[in-house]
Chain A
Amino acid sequence: MSAAQLATAAGPKARVAGGYTALLIVSLLAPLVFPAYVTQFAFLWVLVVIALCWNVMGGEMGYNSFGNIVFFGVGMYATSVVQVGLYGDVGAYTAAKGGLALDLTVTQYFVGLGVGMFAGALLAVALAGILGLGMLGLRGHYFAIGTLGLGIAAAELAAGWDWIGAGSGMVPPNYPDAAGIDRTTVFYYLAFILAVATFFTLKRLRRGRFGLAINAIRDDEDKAEAMGLHTTRYKTVAWCVSAFFTAFAGGIVGNIVGFIDPRTVAFAGVTYGVWMVLMTVLGGKGTLWGPVVGAAVFHVTQELFWTYLLGWQRVALGLLIVLIVVFFPKGIVGYIRDKWPEKFGYTVDESATGAAADPAQQGGTR
């Protein structure tokens, strides 16, 4: 069977490789060609990442998580705390409310950033594991509502914690001028690398045991249990995977924005928290490319509306979402998949011949 698959896949394979190469070249050159939009492009990759991560939970596993924003915020705070803490006193730094600037060398800055982002990701994974024990016992709408509270609780906790700046927020350390390369360009490429790493990791995971197990949990969790699947373990691992990459995205956003407010930047449930759901639904839940397409469409239209329909941008965006949900309820990629299922590997029927000899071909009575 796999031999037959390979034979038919040889043609498209070259096209797919070509497509990836074209995307790679465009992405690498984008900051050089459109220097004015680098920050916007960086945000696009961040949005792709958080949508891909949300899709693991809401799309592939059927657990609509409104709690992913917690990992975004945790990653953001943890990155900055490590960035500051490696070379100074976090308490004094935040107490000065931006008045105490850290003068970091280029090496110090990038070591702090790297260590900080990984620390944030690991912290988020640990948190997902712990929260998962309690939350993933809930199913369906109960999980969604339960996780909705998590983001709000995290924002309030951060807003009350003086060490990380409480309600006045926190400022990541200044970018060293001596670096010789533009700050936004650096974060553009970081976000791009993160998006590529997330995409290919999830692409690999979804075709193996993990991917099929969380799909099975989405389709029928009771059946999955009856077949002996470690459903709780799979669900927890899924949330940890989701948290890992979301936290990196948070670390990058904190540094791009340059100011971490607990409610509107870090644990921003009404912006990033809703967007990650929206982008996935727009692009197509449970598909590989859906979140990527959804993030791109969302980000571009949002920016266009902001530029050309100022004052009405939210109305236009809302209208667009309504139109897409009404006319493409399965999202853009979901619509394409239903239209051309064979392109997605759903071959309808291979044998017209020998149908009579095959009892299953005769079908059931219902």
Chain B
Amino acid sequence: MSPLLEVNNVSKAFGGVQANHDISLQVADGEIAGIIGPNGSGKTTLFNSIVGAHPIDRGSIKFRDEELSRLRVPHIARRGLLRTFQQTRIYKQMTCVENMLISRPHANETLGSMLADFDEADYREAGELLELVGLYAKRNLQAGELSFGQQKLLEFAMALMNNPKMLLLDEPTAGINPTLINGLLERLVYANRELGITLLVIEHNMRVIMSLAQRIYCLAHGQLLAEGAPETVRNDPRVIDAYLGGQ
């Protein structure tokens, strides 16, 4: 069976800076894969390339056997490949419930559905997912009033509301206190096991990524340095060098 997401020899340069060079990776359906790498190693650029935020220079990106590299962000999102942002992004002036409601899937949108009201099922699902991330009590609060950690949880719940096939998470635990991290991890695993959402996670917190991911890719200087099981990657001398500045 072909992998769910297939990135082949992708390169991307910004002027003279080679952000991604010849990167290939595969993520199988139902898997949790991780991407690690020092700051500036090109992880977020790779995410942006996959979700269509900018065109790639070379290579191909396939999702469910469909070429993505020519599609734009909303088109890719509607195919079930969704990303969250490193700098958490939510709709600040809207309430949590409204944030959830508008995150319903937007495939097959017609003029009729654009002008339609939300139904009982929409409200129920929004409520359930807010309950899952522990924000139900704050559902009628403007999202901008939430703490940073709560905004991250809300963004995650919004992503689940969109019913994606695969989720790209850009540093889901950055800026969250350690107690909350464990809760978030449980919910990520829940989304993967119970909702069948494939995850590709960028993470700096080694404890988190080692326990979460089944396979890890390590980037450094825009190139793929190592890949494999968490143990293998952690003990790879090149990875240790890259992190500790051995190069």
Q: Specify which chain A residues have a CB less than 8 angstroms from the CB of B158 in the assembled complex.
A: 227
Q: Which residues of B109-139 have CB atoms within 8 Å of chain A's CB atoms?
A: 109, 111, 113-118, 120, 123-124, 127, 133-135, 137-139
A216, B51: Cβ atoms closer than 8 Å = no
Q: Is the CB of A219 within 8 A of B91?
A: yes
B226 at the interface (CB under 8 A from A): no
Residues of B near A358 (CB, < 8 A) are: 134, 137
Residues of chain A with a CB closer than 8 A to B77's CB: 225-228
Report the interface size for chain A: residues with CB under 8 A from the other chain. 46
B8 on interface, CB distance cutoff 8 Å? no
Bound CA span A1–B127, Å: 7
Q: Check A345–B114 contact: CB distance below 8 A.
A: no
Verify if A15 is at the interface (C-beta below 8 Å from B). no
Residue in A215, A224, A362 whose beta carbon sits within 8 Å of that of B93 in the complex: A215
Indicate which residue in A207, A213, A224, A361 contacts B114 across the interface (CB closer than 8 Å): A213
Interface size class of B (residues with CB under 8 A): 35 or more
Contact of B73 among A209, A225, A350 (CB under 8 A): A225
Nearest chain B CB to A339's CB is how many angstroms away? 14
Chain A contacts with B in 254-290, Cβ cutoff 8 A: 286
- Determine the residue in chain B with the shortest Cβ distance to A286: B93
Q: Mark A1-34, 1 if CB is under 8 A from B, else 0.
A: 1100000000000000000000000000000000
Indicate with 1 or 0, residue by residue over B3-28, a CB within 8 angstroms of chain A CB atoms.
Answer: 00000000000000000000000000
A107 at interface (Cβ–Cβ under 8 A)?
A: no
Residue in A207, A212, A351 with the greatest tally of chain B CB atoms within 10 Å: A212
Alpha-carbon separation in the docked complex, A365 to B184 (Å): 14
B149 to chain A, nearest CB (A): 2
A208-B115, A359-B180 known; A365+B175 contact, CB < 8 A: yes
- If the complex has contacts A215-B93, A219-B92, are A228 and B78 also in contact, measured as CB distance less than 8 A? yes
For A216, give its contact among B72, B74, B94, B135 (CB under 8 Å): B94
Stretch at the interface among A151-159, A167-175, A230-238, A301-309: A230-238
Is B189 close to A, CB under 8 A?
A: no
Contact A229 B141 (CB under 8 A): no
Task: Give the CA-CA distance A223 to B87 in the complex, in Å.
Answer: 11
A7 to chain B, nearest CB (A): 14
Q: With A233-B114, A359-B180, A363-B147 known to touch, is A215 a contact of B98 (CB < 8 Å)?
A: yes
Residue of B nearest to A207 (CB): B117
Within 8 A of A (CB), among B83-116: 83, 85, 89-95, 97-98, 101-107, 109, 111, 113-116
Question: Which has the most chain A C-beta neighbours within 10 Å: B114, B123, B152?
Answer: B114
Q: How far is the CA of A273 from the CA of B145 in the complex (A)?
A: 35
Tell me, yes or no, whether A335 is within 8 Å of chain B by CB. Answer: no
Q: A359-B180, A362-B179, A366-B175 are in contact. Are A223 and B90 (CB under 8 A)?
A: yes
Whether the Cβ atoms of A219 and B94 lie closer than 8 Å is yes
| Contact, CB under 8 Å: B91 / A228 | no
Nearest CB of B to A186, in Å? 31
Docked pose: A208 CA to B246 CA in angstroms: 56
Give, as a whole number of angstroms, the nearest-CB distance from B64 to chain A: 15
Measured CA separation A353–B123 after assembly (Å) = 24
Beta-carbon contact of A229 and B102 below 8 Å = yes
**Cα separation A275 to B55 with both chains bound (whole Å):** 43
A223 to B103, CA, bound (A): 10
A349 touches B137 (CB 8 A): yes
Contacts of B95 in A (CB 8 A): 345-346
- Asked whether B89 lies within 8 Å of A220 as measured between CB atoms, the reply is yes
- State in angstroms the CA–CA spacing of A115 and B226 once bound together: 71
Q: Contacts A229-B102, A361-B134 given: A1-B74 contact, CB under 8 Å?
A: no
Interface string of A320-360 (1 = CB under 8 A from B): 00000000000000000000010001111111000000111
In the bound complex, what is the Cα–Cα distance between A351 and B149 (angstroms)? 18
Interchain CB contact (< 8 A) of B149 among A226, A229, A364 = A364
Q: Within the assembled complex, what's the spacing in Å between the Cα atoms of A341 and B139?
A: 14
Is A163 interfacial (CB 8 A cutoff)? Answer: no
Minimum CB–CB distance from B119 to chain A (whole Å) comes to: 10
Supply 18 further A-B pairs (C-beta < 8 A) apart from A219-B91, A227-B162.
A1-B139, A208-B117, A208-B118, A209-B113, A215-B98, A216-B91, A224-B102, A225-B74, A226-B77, A227-B106, A227-B158, A228-B106, A233-B114, A346-B141, A361-B137, A364-B175, A365-B148, A366-B148
Nearest 10 A-B pairs (CB), nearest first? A364-B149, A228-B77, A360-B134, A219-B91, A359-B183, A351-B137, A347-B140, A212-B102, A364-B148, A366-B148
Can you offer 7 A-B residue contacts whose CB atoms are under 8 A?
A208-B116, A209-B104, A209-B116, A215-B98, A215-B102, A220-B89, A359-B134
